Chains A and B, each alone.
Chain A
Amino acid sequence: MTPPDTVKESRPVQADAPVEQALPQGLEETLPRATADRIRPLLDNPVLRWLVRNPIWVFVLIVFVFFSLVSDHFFAARNFQNILVQTSTIGLIALGMTLVMVNGNIDLSVGATLALAAAFAVDVQSWAVFATWGNWQILPAVCLALLVGIGLGALNGFIVWKTGVDAFIVTLGAMLGIRGLVFVYTGEQSFYAMNFAYSDFSALSIGPLPALALIFLLCTLAVHLLLSRTVHGRNTYAVGGNREAAVNAGIRVGPHMMINFMIIGFFAALSGVLLSTQMGAATPNLGRDYELWVITAVVLGGTKLTGGKGDIIGTLGGVLAIGMLRNGMNLMNVPAFYVYVVLGSILIAVLFLDKRFNRTADGGLRL
């Protein structure tokens, strides 16, 4: 039978969606048609269009304006420096977590890795071998700490690759085990950096920017470029978005995922090193619960737990949102008990709004 060639295409649901001028699916469905029509032209403005697609930044703006109005101390250059330094710890790990989560994996062991790296960074300086090195003794210490982070990441990645066990489970185990290693290594004690040059680093500023903030911003830029511009970065989306397609296209998924685990290990270690410069010390309980805050920040930034979606700009927004909330609530003297409630509620609220506005078309089925 010959297919009729007079047939016209008719596919209301599946037609190519216009890329530029549509509101997010959820908005189109929720808003009255007239309102939607009125709002749509606003999307001609590139800034507004960008904000609609990055809702976390809308939230960052709201938080920013809110605290600027209600707190006397929030809107100040010095405070912004503080916020950047404070977010750098969670922020650096979040960069790595974005890669791992876009890959469709997760890493719960970052808090423990951070603690182990910090312990190495502080302890190795005082090894007798480097006693005559002066301030240079910091260099091998930091290098070793970063290597430890990369190594632990590689171990996680290797196990995920070779055993095929879900990353959630592998890194949940590692979260306990690496914390155990921290206690083995430190013997429960805090380490203290004898060399004040080490802790002075955290007070360093380059122009208006504290060194720690600068490192964080540079790393953010680097990972943003890595994820959006390089072959490895694009493959990260491919592996997370459709693993089978990636395999068929000849991407070596195992080593690829391992590299991303090494990257997050590196950032967890770097974060640990920078944190230890702020303290001039390393404590064995450092970084507890950080994995949960990092995941929260990354998810707020629009990265999907299922993989394939997310970017560094969103993650930066998520990290800043949490950082500003904490900072602002400190400045406003919100009682500690309420901080838990506010942060938890906001997380759920943002998730809810994201679901309403950015949901994908399910054709209105009641499932």
Chain B
Amino acid sequence: MLDRLKAGGPAIARQGILVAFIVFMIAFTIMSDRFMTADNLMSVFRQSAIIGVMALGVTIVVIGGNLDLSVGSMLSFATVLVVDLHDKIGPELAIPVMFLATLCLGAVNGFLVGILRLNSLIVTLGMLSVIQGLVLIYSGGQNVDIVDQQGTWFALFGRGAIFGIATPIVMFGLMALVFHVIMTTMPFGRRVYAVGGNPTASVFSGIPRSRVVFTTYLISALCVGVAAVMLGSRVMGSQNNVGQGYELQVLAAVILGGTSLLGGAGSVLRTVLGVLMLAFIQNGLILMGQPYYTQWLVTWAVIIVAVWLDVAAKRGRLLSPIA
């Protein structure tokens, strides 16, 4: 029967994204001799770190049963702030001030969604617009730049290396690991899964639901702050709309990683796979000399096929039972 996956088969199908990932890696390796080189792989890892770190935070929000679309303009906000303050008060103050301000925005999200229980899609959509306005008002619409690009230790985060590995890769890897550990082995992680899976039952189990949701938004904001440090340091400057559209790329990566938008299920490590998948598609197609819009078409197909396989494996049949 075509629409019934064999009982033994799903093991591989359940890893739809992994399969797709491997298929793409092989295809790109065959199509371009530049693809599977240490330089290129490192370069892609480094490029994906910014989106990746944000996606880690959003994954936790989504597992908790909510969405965060405001991360795009929040990234613009944080980057403009940290870059602008760098020359005014020095990086050692600029970074904590930026984190404080970004966490405040996260707290606003957390308050509206966690405490007031407003719909997260609409709230963060509204915040996307509000924060974009705030950035523009703060900077007056001007680009900000760091004048002394060579001399500042701020360069470490985006351009430097730790033990010979580019700092963004190290930071992304470490954060992925830390969040993976938090989500799988620490009480907080368990609570996020519970709240996302069944908020009512969580409350009946004595879990402070509001506080948990609130915290997931703080984590998301924290990740945006880290991403902003890497971005600001990498570019040594910022535009006001630098994060525009990132929210959707981040969400696409989270979805590709198999995290359910309904909450309660998903994994931080699989989000890393989703992030890398998107980054490699982008990189591989340019290496093959394809025009930029091919990556949109390919991403379209990949998102649908990967999520489809995921869903199909869970229900045990390929086609949906909807009549």
Contacts and interface: CB of A to CB of B under 8 A. Distances in A.
Q: Do chains A and B touch in the complex (CB under 8 A)?
A: yes
Contacts, number: 152
A163 B308 CA distance: 6
A176 B293 CA distance: 9
B116 interface: yes
A341 B133 contact: yes
Contact of A347 (B122, B252, B291, B308): B122
Interface in B247-278: 248, 251-252, 255, 261
Contact of A173 (B209, B261, B303, B315): B303
Contacts of B252: 172-173, 176
Given A344-B133, A348-B118, A180 B296 contact: yes
B235 interface: no
A241 B321 CA distance: 19
A180 B297 contact: yes
Interface string B125-152: 1111111111011000100000000000
Contact of A179 (B296, B312, B319): B296
Contacts of B112: 348, 352
Given A168-B261, A295-B125, A340 B301 contact: no
B203 A367 contact: yes
A254 interface: yes
A292 B297 CA distance: 21
Interface string B51-94: 00000000000000000000000000000000000000000000
Contacts of B141: 337
Contacts of B137: 337-338, 341
Contacts of A175: 248
B152 to A, nearest CB: 29
Nearest to B294: A180
A253 B130 CA distance: 38
Given A163-B320, A296-B125, A338-B137, A351 B119 contact: yes
A247 B323 contact: yes
A165 B307 contact: yes
Contacts of B11: none
A181 interface: yes
Contacts of B295: 180
B121 A305 contact: yes
28 contacts: A163-B311, A164-B320, A165-B308, A169-B307, A172-B303, A176-B296, A177-B300, A177-B301, A178-B300, A179-B293, A180-B293, A180-B294, A183-B293, A184-B293, A247-B323, A252-B323, A254-B322, A292-B128, A305-B119, A340-B133, A341-B133, A341-B137, A344-B127, A347-B125, A348-B112, A348-B118, A366-B203, A367-B203
Contacts of A169: 255, 261, 303-304, 307
A319 B132 CA distance: 22
Contacts of A181: 297
Interface in A21-76: none
B15 interface: no
Q: How large is the interface on B (under 10, 10 to 19, 20 to 34, 35 or more residues)?
A: 35 or more
A172 B119 contact: no
Interface in A85-143: none
Contacts of B297: 176-177, 180-181, 184
Identify whether the interface residues of A are mostly helix, strand, loop, or mixed: helix
Contacts of B132: 340
Contacts of B255: 169, 172
With a 10 A CB-CB cut-off, give which of B112, B261, B308 has the most chain A CB atoms. B308
Interface in A165-195: 165-166, 168-170, 172-181, 183-184
Nearest to B260: A166
Contacts of A174: 300
B109 to A, nearest CB: 10
Contact of B320 (A162, A177, A296, A340): A162
Contact of B299 (A177, A254, A341): A177
A226 interface: no
Contacts of A330: none
Interface in A345-367: 345, 347-348, 351-352, 355, 366-367
A339 interface: yes
A282 interface: no
Interface in B237-252: 248, 251-252
A343 interface: yes
B257 to A, nearest CB: 12
Interface residues of A, number: 48
Contact of B127 (A161, A179, A348): A348
Nearest to B295: A180
Nearest to A178: B300
B199 interface: yes
A343 B319 CA distance: 42
A362 B151 CA distance: 60
B117 A355 contact: yes
B129 A344 contact: yes
With a 10 A CB-CB cut-off, give which of B137, B299, B300, B303 has the most chain A CB atoms. B300
A176 B118 contact: no
B123 to A, nearest CB: 6
B296 A253 contact: no
Given A337-B137, A344-B129, A164 B321 contact: yes
B209 A367 contact: yes
B128 A344 contact: yes
Contacts of A296: 122, 125-126
A351 B122 contact: yes
A295 to B, nearest CB: 7
A159 interface: yes
Contacts of B127: 344, 348
B43 interface: no
List of 6 A-B pairs having minimum Cβ-Cβ separation, nearest first: A177-B300, A164-B320, A340-B133, A344-B129, A180-B296, A344-B130
A164 B323 contact: no
A162 B119 contact: no
A52 to B, nearest CB: 21
B134 A341 contact: yes
A247 B320 CA distance: 13
Contacts of B308: 163-165
Nearest to B117: A355
A299 interface: yes
Contacts of A183: 291, 293, 296
